[in-house]
Structure 1
Amino acid sequence: MDEVKQLVSDIKNKKLKPIYFLMGEEPYYIDKISDFIENNVLTEEERGFNQMVLYGRDVTVEDVVSNAKRFPMMAEHQVVIVKEAQDLSRTIEKLAAYADNPQLTTVLVINYKYKKIDKRKALYKALKKKGVVFESKKLYENQVADWIRRVLSPKGYAITPKAAQMLVEFLGTDLSKINNELEKLQIILPKETQISPEHIEENIGISKDFNNFELRKAIGEKNAVKAYRIINYFAENPKDNPMVVTVSLLFNFFSQLLQFHGLKDKSPRSVASALKINPYFVNEYITAARNYPMRKVSAVVATLRKFDVKSKGVDANAVPQGDLLKELLSSILN
């Protein structure tokens, strides 16, 4: 995120590079940087003659180079943006010759999503020397809640740990989807609001009581009544609560619990650091560790592996998802 801020700051201050090669698994920042260049390098009057958007599926690398070599008309720069450039992956190395000697009055932006170029080859070396190579890496699930807080803070909003976790659980690590939902909340809620689970439930439609986060907590507390109530809700709403996601989240939880048992220092700060979790959730692990000794945790992890296979339809004999979940829960709690 700091690298993105620096890039945007340089562009604002007209410290422009002739090529911006934006690549990587996370499209959110690629789109953000590309859109910023598209909307800010040229004035509205200059864009008509000097800004062009191409699509990888419709052009060749030679077409891109040909357009990039043009001179701007009545402006200091022209901007050429290539979207979905990953469609040119088979021939992208042909861009190396241009990258080695780029047109300095052109700002060429390559959006190379979900892939990376080979850092050992000529193109990467030329880009690093003459332009900008930005790699947008996918965030791990345990990093997304912190990202949500950092996105909201400059805009005058806060969010509770549980509300952030609900978004991560429901939307995964797709930053674009999460940002879309955050923008909706910012339209509805006044500044200085701390976004709560109730706000998430009322405005996004994620239940604050019937979700994997609450199921994990109930299982950790060995609260069978609450856990079965949530499982029954999942059984009635299978499309919104796929079993494969539930099993995956429980597997991660019990794997972390296994790690917790092996820690010498079980102070909250040490646990949060070792397990890479928000300190707010440390007490859940302490409670769960009391209820599940290491031997039991190992058995649960093995059970979850078995049910992970079943959740994907192997050896499940067309058993309904709800029944499989109840069987899994019984195995964990007993």
Structure 2
Amino acid sequence: MAKANSNGITYQEVIRAVQRKEYKPVYLLMGDESYYIDRISDYIADNVLTEEEKGFNLSVIYCTKETEVSTIINAAKRYPMMSRYQVVVVKEAQNLSKSEDLFYYVQKPLDSTILVICFKNGTIDRRKKLVPAIEKVGVVFESKKLKESQLGSFVTDYLRRKGVGIDEKSVQMLVEFIGSDLNRMAGELDKLSIIVGSSTKVVTPEVIEKNIGVSKDYNNFELRAAIINRDVLRANKIVKYFDENQKANPAVVTVAMLFGFFSNLMLAHYSPDKSEDGLCRQLDMKSAWQVRDYVAAMRSFSAMKTLLIIDKIRETDAKLKGVGNASATPGELLADMVFFILH
């Protein structure tokens, strides 16, 4: 769950406060994860004003390097027309050359204006005077990228709010295929929700294979399972499929997935508490099912073998990027790496 300032405000808390009509005069939404920034700004723009009020009282300013801070301040200082509030949404505020000058407005903002500042791909230095000034009168929300271990919870929670269920394998398929792009993930989940909404209300691997394009039998999730179970035949079949379908299954993605898995496995080997709960804490995972693969993998791969595997994965990654590789294809490099892991 994305968090904000030192008070630890979350995305859901910001939305619930707006739903209760507990508006603040200034919202600073900043960070590397654009998904939550867009969701909050859109929610405020869509819900504070009625449709009739929006015509005169909703302003959206898209910033470029030429945009003057005075343009924003002048818009914020206007009074609403036939409405209690006006909403001013400032998009792409990271392009402003002098965003700190907003401090002069924030010191004494209008109660009738709701100013929403969207600052993406980074944050404003909290040591400078603008951020503390906004914290005094409004909301500072920092939208951080989710960790890989949090993506599964994002998927299940998103679908749960829509009344749709999903099984563990389907969650892993989506996470492996889409990754950490939450805007794309949300779009795919919306599509899947519509597809299953009139029938089973459950997303399955078959539904994903048919509508998203990832194979339910030949994907990174299945390759990882085959490696954990030391199923050489199954692993080789998947690697062969990947080689024949490189566009949909790029080797660099598979290598990155395996590097993350075996790096976590090394942490698991040295965890003082190797129970499921202990590994959840060690690996920063929320549920026991997420660590069960690591419990099984610790039986298949010793700590020393895990260390050697990590070194091999790094070597393969370098060769995929052209370092020390004269002629081997991505498929050959992947096959060689998987052979090393399983032997």
Please indicate the TM-score interval, normalised by the length of the shorter structure.
Answer: over 0.9
Work out the CA distance in 1 between the residues paired with 2:269 and 2:56. 65
2:192 pairs with 1:175: no
Please tell me the residue identity of whatever aligns with 2:25: P
**Distance 1:264-1:103 versus aligned 2 partners, 3 A rule:** closer
Is the counterpart of residue 319 in structure 1 residue 328 in structure 2?
yes
1:198-277 correspondence runs (5 A): 198-277=206-285
Distance 1:259 1:154 in 2: 33
Structure 1, gaps ≥5 residues long? none
Q: Secondary structure at the match of 1:112?
A: strand
Within a 5 Å distance, the mapping from 1:145-164 to structure 2 comes to 145-164=152-171
1:261, 1:132 → 2: CA distance?
A: 42
TM-score of the superposed pair, with normalisation by structure 2: 0.92
State yes or no: 1:49 paired with 2:79: no
Whole-Å Cα distance in 2 between the matches of residues 49 and 261 of structure 1?
A: 62
Give 1:161 shift.
1.6
Measure, in 2, the Cα distance between the counterparts of 1:170 and 1:8: 29
CA distance in 2, matches of 1:29, 1:264: 36
Residue type at the aligned position of 2:74: S
Helix, strand or coil at the partner of 1:135: strand
Establish whether residue 76 from structure 1 lines up as the match of residue 76 from structure 2: no
SS at match of 1:189: helix
User: How far apart, in 2, do the equivalents of 1:67 and 1:264 lie?
Assistant: 57
More helix by share: 1
**Counterpart Cα distance in 2 of 1:272 and 1:5:** 24
Deviation string for 1:191-236 (max 9, x for gaps)? 7623222221122111111111111111121111111111111111
1:30 pairs with 4, 26, 37, which one? 37
What does the per-residue CA deviation read over 1:288-316, in whole Å, with 9 as the maximum and x for residues that have no partner? 22222222111111111111111222222
Show CA shifts across 1:233-288 (max 9, x none). Answer: 11111122121211111112122222222234333332333233442254433332
Other structure's SS at 1:272 match: helix
**Structure 1 stretches of 4+ moved >4 Å:** none
**2:304 match:** 295
Question: More displaced, 300-309 or 288-297?
Answer: 288-297
Give the partner amino acid of 1:139. Answer: L
Quote the residue 2:21 is aligned against.
Answer: 14
Task: Report how many residues are paired.
Answer: 333
CA distance in 2 between partners of 1:118 and 1:282 (Å): 37
Higher alpha-carbon deviation: 18-27 or 3-12: 3-12
Q: Say which SS state the counterpart of residue 331 (structure 1) adopts.
A: helix
Query: How far apart, CA to CA, are the structure 1 residues paired with 2:147 and 2:228?
Result: 23
Structure 2: where are the runs of 5+ without partners?
2-8
Amino acid at match of 1:310: K
CA–CA distance in structure 2, aligned partners of residues 111 and 275 of structure 1: 32
Identity %: 45
**C-alpha distance in structure 1 between counterparts of 2:322 and 2:131, whole Å:** 43
Q: Is the 8 A contact 2:61 2:88 kept in 1?
A: yes
Instruction: Classify 1:126/1:329 alpha carbon distance in 2 versus 1 (closer, same or farther; 3 Å).
Output: same
Q: Match for 1:56: what amino acid?
A: C
Distance in 1 (alpha carbons) for counterparts of 2:236 and 2:14? 50
Q: Which amino acid aligns with 2:143?
A: S
Structure 2 partner of 1:140:
147
Whole-Å Cα distance in 1 between the matches of residues 291 and 122 of structure 2? 36
After superposing the two structures, state which structure 1 stretch, 184-193 or 280-289, moved more.
280-289
The secondary structure found in structure 1 opposite 2:254 is helix
Amino acid paired to 1:239: K
Contact 2:228 2:296 (C-alpha < 8 Å) held by counterparts: yes
AA partner of residue 204 (structure 2): S
Secondary structure, counterpart of 1:97 in structure 2: helix
Which sits farther off after the overlay, 284-293 or 296-305? 284-293
In the TM superposition, what whole-angstrom CA distance separates every residue of 1:61-93 from its partner, at most 9, and x where no partner exists?
Answer: 1111111111111211111111111111x3111
Whichever residue aligns with residue 317 of structure 1, its letter is A
The whole-number CA distance in structure 2 between the counterparts of 1:295 and 1:31 is: 45
- Measure, in 1, the Cα distance between the counterparts of 2:327 and 2:25: 57
